[in-house]
A and B are shown apart, each in its own frame.
Chain A
């Protein structure tokens, strides 16, 4: 009994002790020959499937950059931190980066809420923040220090609507959307664009965050006699939705937002995914993306997805900014780096060409169709 108790006390002690050490201000001797970034996302918890892709892409870039001579001769160092998708933790992380004088830019986070909570801190500290995924319109309005990799939803919505109305020739469209800021914006913007093109949205309902049972919605879609469906949701719930939809015997054409381009989506949905058309920024079969795609496959043994590609581009573009500064012989400060990132020439990355206007790019997107269990260009 006594022994066990002391073991438990030991565990508690070690945990608390390690904690105390971790909290101490980190005074590592400043290394002149490095460039340091912060990189944060939900590596664990509810969004871990996406966050782990982020981290893998970040580590891949780190490895590749240092293997090819670093950033203008300096070694790249990245401080990876997990925010669990919790805004409180992301502000803590943001302060942590800000307090570390060596960190010149931060990459993250996955959810807009975490990115925006952290963004308030970065804006004050004048540290550039590149979010791989935040599409929230207000995100880049926080300050000139916020950048993002995807288009805003009003740009994407034009393509979504064109797909549904002009390409798939559907008129009565059902529009299920995921209940987060991204899903709500996609749904709103896509609905407006569909109506502009003479289509009609006959049903638009939220998929709640943990729901995997969409039969009620599907029954209503059938009753409303929709002739097309556009899914504004993430790949895992969408895969279940597709299965339940096809089970119910509804075989109208289905279009989807860019998260549906994901190898995991095909694994999960199986045959139910056939015929789905979705938009994407990133298509790995494109030979120009080989450094990323081949590198990722070799390191992790699986295909990269779009989130990984976004994260890779986000850290790459920050590195590109640092490279431009250093090459010009200017000091690498946070404020100078922001201006350098903003002034970069169009950057050719895994997710297409990025050129920032007020922190937001305007990238071309591709349409893909699922045929015989794989994605192919939709023509």
Chain B
């Protein structure tokens, strides 16, 4: 069916040009500020809604579009002002969390302002259709493609020819040297964010025209895909972002055409993983110091995994007070927490048990991402794996908890080692992409492998069984089991981190080549940390399955992975006590803020921003 191929190729080029625009936004910001801007999807959505409102006020679409692009560029600069600038001296990954907080605020704000409904967006060009054989193109497709190409060309000219463009690239290559040459580095960062905002708005307007509608959630998939496209191209490379965008667009449209719409993303992410194995630096992300890449790009950091290095900023005013309680203190707090059922209602116990599960997850991820420096944006898949192991064994095979716990723990540990294997061989930002892809593939398998997981229907009625002759049915006992597991995992993690193993993990994080040169079998240590992390995540998953008595893919979205990374950053990278604290706090917050009603998520974002503002190294301090 040549018709299908041609049609999918054309669709891929059109959608790919939108991905490329978003990827360019990611690349610009990453190049200049060494920061992954999670608010990029939100900027896209805002751009579309600004244009929508202006059109409703009676402005012609082109004028509305231009004004919206300007306004979104201003919002982009505001993101820099709020998310990046106050955190200059924080660990390099901290601003990632503040962009996430801003994205949460923007999404919730859009629902309040424009309502959650999809609303029609005028698209005059849409009725113009050209048939190319059996395939067809609409006026919007052609406009999208041409506008995107023109903007990309213009951007490259701007970066290579204009003074500001050169200053931007200089800032990307070496901010300190650039500053000494008289470049206003702070201004350049703002310019990069402004450009990212403008690109996001443009993409948003094009998407709105393509869908002929706007809705608050519209930025989410494009944020993820744009990020993946940027990583695929080689995060800091401008031509790479464009290529990555087009390739991703074509990939997924061909997958959709030949395998089926339902497996579109599954195939797109699996292919991404494959590309990564062959070209870990991204397609065009070579060591060449071209475009925005520069030194920062070539070292391929997300940002650098070294926490010490990123703390040693020029103005080291930050105090890194590290929270390092003795293990008995943590155990004492957990023991105190065990008294909750005596004073609180079942609701409080349920919430507290959820907090314990998320504390375990944060603990598990801080080992991998904090101590060993393998930033994972796919941890929810391991959590889900543990939960599904428990659900299937308990529900379909009647296994008792005493058998399920080790099965979930070691099964997930093996899975983690296996799933992290492609990521571990990679360095820098490629790790983030690999884990993102693994996380998405995991989620999509939960969703699509209906024979095993029952897909979106979920698995209900998971029996809690009995442990050591004690029925685990009562909620209080589930809570105590969760606390017990948390205490156990904490002790194990603490022992490991205090031992030479933990020191080796931190050595690998700080300087992998040096560790390697010193004779450390890096790969073996990384597999070990992945397995340990997976073991804890598996226990958390099993506990979650019993607690809910119901599992469905909805609990293991990318959103969950991002919240987990947020917990690790908020806790202080590599600080297990901090991770437990942050895990409890971030799991508690959405419940605790119920009084704010529809403002709940906005307050959630504000609290995150504020916490980060006065403890940039995280609550526990980095370790």
Q: List 9 tightest A-B contacts by C-beta distance, closest first.
A: A19-B592, A48-B116, A206-B262, A99-B345, A15-B607, A95-B350, A12-B610, A216-B256, A95-B347
Q: Contacts A12-B607, A247-B136 given; indicate if A21 touches B595 (C-beta within 8 A).
A: yes
A87 near B351 with CB under 8 A, answer no
Q: Contacts A208-B265, A264-B118 given; indicate if A219 touches B592 (C-beta within 8 A).
A: no
B550 near A82 with CB under 8 A, answer no
Q: Contacts A15-B603, A44-B600, A113-B554 given; indicate if A217 touches B261 (C-beta within 8 A).
A: yes
Across chains A and B, the number of contacting residue pairs, with CB separation under 8 Å, is 247
B457 near A112 with CB under 8 A, answer yes
The reply to whether the CB of A117 lies closer than 8 angstroms to some CB of chain B is yes
Q: Which residues of B contact A100 (CB under 8 A)?
A: 347
Q: Contacts A44-B600, A99-B347 given; indicate if A247 touches B610 (C-beta within 8 A).
A: no
Q: Can you report 27 residue pairs joining A to B where beta carbons are below 8 Å apart?
A: A11-B609, A12-B607, A15-B604, A16-B592, A18-B592, A22-B595, A43-B598, A45-B217, A48-B116, A49-B215, A52-B116, A91-B350, A95-B346, A96-B347, A99-B345, A113-B550, A117-B552, A120-B461, A179-B456, A181-B455, A206-B260, A208-B261, A213-B11, A216-B8, A216-B261, A219-B135, A249-B136
- Scoring B138, B256, B347 by chain A CB atoms within 10 A of each residue's CB, the highest score goes to B347
Q: Which residues of B contact A291 (CB under 8 A)?
A: none
A183 vs B1: C-alpha distance when bound (angstroms): 29
A46 near B134 with CB under 8 A, answer no
Q: Which residues of B contact A207 (CB under 8 A)?
A: 261
The reply to whether the CB of B108 lies closer than 8 angstroms to some CB of chain A is yes
Q: Which residues of A contact B (CB under 8 A)?
A: 5, 8-9, 11-12, 15-16, 18-23, 25, 43-46, 48-49, 51-52, 80-82, 84-89, 91-92, 95-96, 98-100, 111-114, 116-117, 119-121, 125, 136, 138, 142, 176, 179-181, 183-185, 205-208, 210-217, 219-220, 222-223, 236, 239-240, 243, 247-249, 264, 267-268, 270
A184 near B593 with CB under 8 A, answer no
The reply to whether the CB of B312 lies closer than 8 angstroms to some CB of chain A is no
Chain B residues bordering chain A, tally (CB within 8 A): 88
**Taking CB as reference atom, which chain B residue is nearest A113?**
B552
A9 vs B607: C-alpha distance when bound (angstroms): 9
Q: Which residues of B contact A264 (CB under 8 A)?
A: 117-118
The reply to whether the CB of B331 lies closer than 8 angstroms to some CB of chain A is no
A270 vs B588: C-alpha distance when bound (angstroms): 44
B213 near A223 with CB under 8 A, answer no
Task: Give which listed residue, A22, A179, A181, A236, contacts B593 with CB less than 8 A.
Answer: A22
CB distance from B560 to the nearest CB of A (A): 9
Name the prevailing secondary structure of the A interface residues: helix
A92 near B212 with CB under 8 A, answer no
A210 near B220 with CB under 8 A, answer yes
The reply to whether the CB of B15 lies closer than 8 angstroms to some CB of chain A is yes
B11 near A181 with CB under 8 A, answer no
A116 near B3 with CB under 8 A, answer no
**Taking CB as reference atom, which chain A residue is nearest B609?**
A8
B126 near A243 with CB under 8 A, answer yes
A138 near B457 with CB under 8 A, answer yes
A9 vs B348: C-alpha distance when bound (angstroms): 26
B589 near A99 with CB under 8 A, answer no
- B458-490 interface code vs A (CB 8 A; 1 in, 0 out): 101100000000000001000000000000000
Task: Give which listed residue, B1, B211, B600, contacts A82 with CB less than 8 A.
Answer: B600
Q: Contacts A44-B116, A179-B456, A216-B7 given; indicate if A86 touches B215 (C-beta within 8 A).
A: no
A223 vs B6: C-alpha distance when bound (angstroms): 13
CB distance from A271 to the nearest CB of B (A): 9
CB distance from A185 to the nearest CB of B (A): 8
B257 near A243 with CB under 8 A, answer no
A120 near B457 with CB under 8 A, answer no
Q: Contacts A212-B211, A223-B1 given; indicate if A179 touches B447 (C-beta within 8 A).
A: yes
A85 vs B257: C-alpha distance when bound (angstroms): 30
A181 near B458 with CB under 8 A, answer yes
Given A88-B354, A206-B260, A208-B261, 11 other A-B residues pairs in contact with their CB atoms under 8 A: A12-B611, A19-B589, A22-B595, A23-B591, A52-B117, A95-B345, A207-B261, A212-B211, A216-B4, A216-B256, A223-B3
| B 80-136 contacts with A by CB, 8 A | 108, 111, 115-120, 126-127, 129, 131, 134-136
The reply to whether the CB of B325 lies closer than 8 angstroms to some CB of chain A is no
A117 near B548 with CB under 8 A, answer yes
A121 vs B260: C-alpha distance when bound (angstroms): 37
CB distance from A284 to the nearest CB of B (A): 17
**Taking CB as reference atom, which chain B residue is nearest A97?**
B347
CB distance from A117 to the nearest CB of B (A): 4
B595 near A113 with CB under 8 A, answer no
B264 near A211 with CB under 8 A, answer yes
B261 near A240 with CB under 8 A, answer no
Q: Contacts A11-B606, A15-B610, A87-B548 given; indicate if A98 touches B346 (C-beta within 8 A).
A: yes
A219 near B346 with CB under 8 A, answer no
- B340-374 interface code vs A (CB 8 A; 1 in, 0 out): 00001111111100100000000000000000000
Task: Give which listed residue, A52, A117, A219, A267, contacts B257 with CB less than 8 A.
Answer: A219
Task: Give which listed residue, B1, B550, B589, B592, contacts A117 with CB less than 8 A.
Answer: B550
A142 near B460 with CB under 8 A, answer yes
Q: Which residues of A contact B436 (CB under 8 A)?
A: none
Q: Which residues of B contact A185 (CB under 8 A)?
A: 457
Q: Which residues of A contact B118 (CB under 8 A)?
A: 49, 236, 239, 264, 268
Q: Which residues of A contact B594 (CB under 8 A)?
A: 22, 81-82
A268 vs B126: C-alpha distance when bound (angstroms): 14
**Taking CB as reference atom, which chain B residue is nearest A218?**
B7
Q: Which residues of A contact B598 (CB under 8 A)?
A: 43-44, 82
A89 near B601 with CB under 8 A, answer no
A176 vs B260: C-alpha distance when bound (angstroms): 11
The reply to whether the CB of B549 lies closer than 8 angstroms to some CB of chain A is yes
Q: Contacts A8-B613, A87-B555, A205-B262 given; indicate if A243 touches B590 (C-beta within 8 A).
A: no
The reply to whether the CB of B158 lies closer than 8 angstroms to some CB of chain A is no
**Taking CB as reference atom, which chain A residue is nearest B344?**
A25
- Scoring B8, B549, B597 by chain A CB atoms within 10 A of each residue's CB, the highest score goes to B549
A176 vs B262: C-alpha distance when bound (angstroms): 10
A136 vs B550: C-alpha distance when bound (angstroms): 14
B129 near A247 with CB under 8 A, answer yes
Q: Which residues of A contact B449 (CB under 8 A)?
A: none
Task: Give which listed residue, B7, B126, B461, contacts A142 with CB less than 8 A.
Answer: B461
- Scoring A98, A117, A125, A223 by chain B CB atoms within 10 A of each residue's CB, the highest score goes to A117
The reply to whether the CB of B253 lies closer than 8 angstroms to some CB of chain A is yes
Q: Contacts A92-B591, A95-B346, A216-B11 given; indicate if A210 touches B460 (C-beta within 8 A).
A: no
Q: Which residues of B contact A236 (CB under 8 A)?
A: 118, 213, 215
Q: Which residues of A contact B216 (CB under 8 A)?
A: 48
Q: Which residues of B contact A213 (CB under 8 A)?
A: 11, 15, 210-211
A236 vs B606: C-alpha distance when bound (angstroms): 31
**Taking CB as reference atom, which chain B residue is nearest A52?**
B116
The reply to whether the CB of B182 lies closer than 8 angstroms to some CB of chain A is no
CB distance from B352 to the nearest CB of A (A): 9
B588 near A19 with CB under 8 A, answer yes
- Scoring B210, B550, B594, B607 by chain A CB atoms within 10 A of each residue's CB, the highest score goes to B550
**Taking CB as reference atom, which chain A residue is nearest B222?**
A210
A95 vs B346: C-alpha distance when bound (angstroms): 6
A19 vs B594: C-alpha distance when bound (angstroms): 8
A8 near B614 with CB under 8 A, answer yes
CB distance from B103 to the nearest CB of A (A): 13
Q: Which residues of B contact A138 (CB under 8 A)?
A: 457, 460-461
Q: Which residues of B contact A142 (CB under 8 A)?
A: 460-461
| B 545-566 contacts with A by CB, 8 A | 547-550, 552, 554-555
A368 vs B614: C-alpha distance when bound (angstroms): 59
Q: Contacts A8-B609, A181-B456, A184-B457 given; indicate if A99 touches B592 (C-beta within 8 A).
A: no
Q: Which residues of A contact B548 (CB under 8 A)?
A: 87-88, 91, 117, 120
The reply to whether the CB of B450 lies closer than 8 angstroms to some CB of chain A is yes
A15 near B117 with CB under 8 A, answer no
A213 vs B550: C-alpha distance when bound (angstroms): 32
**Taking CB as reference atom, which chain B residue is nearest A82?**
B600
A240 vs B215: C-alpha distance when bound (angstroms): 13
